[in-house]
Amino acid sequence: MSHRHRYSQAARQASRGGRSRYGTKKKLIEQAYQMGEKLGISVWTEDEAGPFKTMPYPGGSWQPEQEPAHQSHEYERNGTAKLLTLFHPASGQARVKGVRRSTNQVLHGWLKAELTDILAGLPPPCEETVQMSSEANREMWESWREGLGVKATLCAELPPLRVLLVMDNLVGHTTPELMVWMFQRGILPLYTPLSGSWLNMAESFQRIVKRRALEGAHPQRPEEIIEWLEATTRGWNAEPTPFEWGGKRAGRRARSRERRRLRALGGSGACARKPISRRRHNTNKWLHTCQLTH
């Protein structure tokens, strides 16, 4: 059956009021990027990249003049590889692991080990946070979930909030066992909305690593892909680049929205804050039916 004239899943959700929930999640994630570190809360992002096939990858390479590199159009399907990623935008540091598959058993085991190590490396909570009452501490947790229609049940006893973890809203990321484990250790997951993967900075990092590791190469085995991706990440961590949410492009988009909100006047940089009347004047008495041809 043809689906050409049906609405997409995102459009159907928006028509049912999903757009407001999308905006709430987006606002919370943006607030985490902009304010989390300033409040003493470490902000990390998580994602899985792949699968990467054992095939020739297009890309540039250094070759002698008039002797371009040639890649075979035939390749053997020897399996795939994936890259598990934890990325810290404020410092640019990344933690990765190449795997053949990312089942819940593999992903959860790696996540718990890495998050435990991250928590161990964080500075201790400030005195004000330690002396905060249980009610105030719970309000702090709830403030990062304000406006959400569906909320996971928090534990009865909550430790101080230490980490905000931005991740995709996949089934394997929302299992009760994993969420309770994170709550008990002061980690609050913030899930990106439908069609909102652009809010996850880990995806931007993964695109950079994939391009540097695989473009112009032809891996023969999944183990080669894993080795190249992990080696590229080690090189990145030697001189990491911090990621900042917003920046110049966000400023340009905000100014563009402001200009559209105002009424631009053609021919200059002027604008009006209310629509200009387009009422016709009584000029018909000066119109004539004749037309000069010379």
Q: What is the pLDDT of residues 6-57, one digit of tens each?
A: 434 443 444 444 455 567 788 888 888 888 888 888 999 999 988 999 887 7
| 66-80, 140-154, 209-223 — most confident range | 209-223
Specify whether the backbone of 64 is left (phi greater than 0), alpha (psi in -120 to 50) or beta.
Answer: beta
Q: For residues 228 and 219, is the Cβ–Cβ distance under 8 A? A: yes
Percentage above 90 pLDDT, the chain:
29
The rounded mean pLDDT for the chain is: 80
Percentage, residues of the chain above pLDDT 70: 80
- pLDDT greater at residue 220 or residue 283: 220
Main-chain dihedrals φ then ψ at residue 120, nearest 5 degrees: -65, -30
pLDDT at residue 15, as a whole number: 40
**Per-residue model confidence (pLDDT) at position 1:** 42
Cα 205 from Cα 94, distance rounded (Å): 9
Q: How confident is the model at residue 73 (pLDDT cuts 50, 70, 90)?
A: confident
Q: What is the mean pLDDT of residues 230-247?
A: 89
Ranked by mean pLDDT, the top range of 26-30, 57-61, 261-265 is: 26-30
Res. 68: pLDDT tops 80: no
pLDDT in the model for residue 223? 93
- The pLDDT of residue 9 is 44
End-to-end CA distance of the chain: 64
Residue 181 burial by Cβ neighbours in a 10 Å radius (0-12, 13-18, 19+): middle
* pLDDT score of 236: 93
**Span 144-179, pLDDT tens digits:** 888 777 778 888 888 889 999 999 888 888 888 999
Q: Whole-model pTM?
A: 0.75
Least confident of 59-63, 192-196, 202-206: 59-63
Question: Which pLDDT score, from 0 to 100, does residue 128 have?
Answer: 77
pLDDT for the residue numbered 215: 85
The pLDDT tens digits of the residues spanning 106-150 come to 999 999 999 999 999 988 877 777 777 888 888 888 888 887 777
The whole-number pLDDT of residue 270 equals 58
Identify the pLDDT of residue 216: 81
DSSP 94-160: EEEEEES---HHHHHHHHHHHHHHHHHHSPPPPHHHHT--HHHHHHHHHHTTTT-SS-PPPPSS-PP
Residue 263 · residue 271 · CB < 8 Å: yes
| Distances from the Cα of 31 to the Cα of 48, 78, 132, 166, 199, angstroms | 23, 43, 22, 12, 11
- The residue type found at 222 is P
What is the reported pLDDT for 43? Answer: 93
Q: Which residue has the higher pLDDT, 74 or 32?
A: 32
Name beta bridge partners: 271: 264
Helices (H), the chain: 9-15, 18-35, 104-121, 127-130, 134-143, 176-183, 201-214, 222-238, 247-261
Q: Is the pLDDT of residue 205 over 70?
A: yes
CB 185 within 8 A of CB 159: yes
How far is 57 from 219, CA to CA, in rounded Å? 9
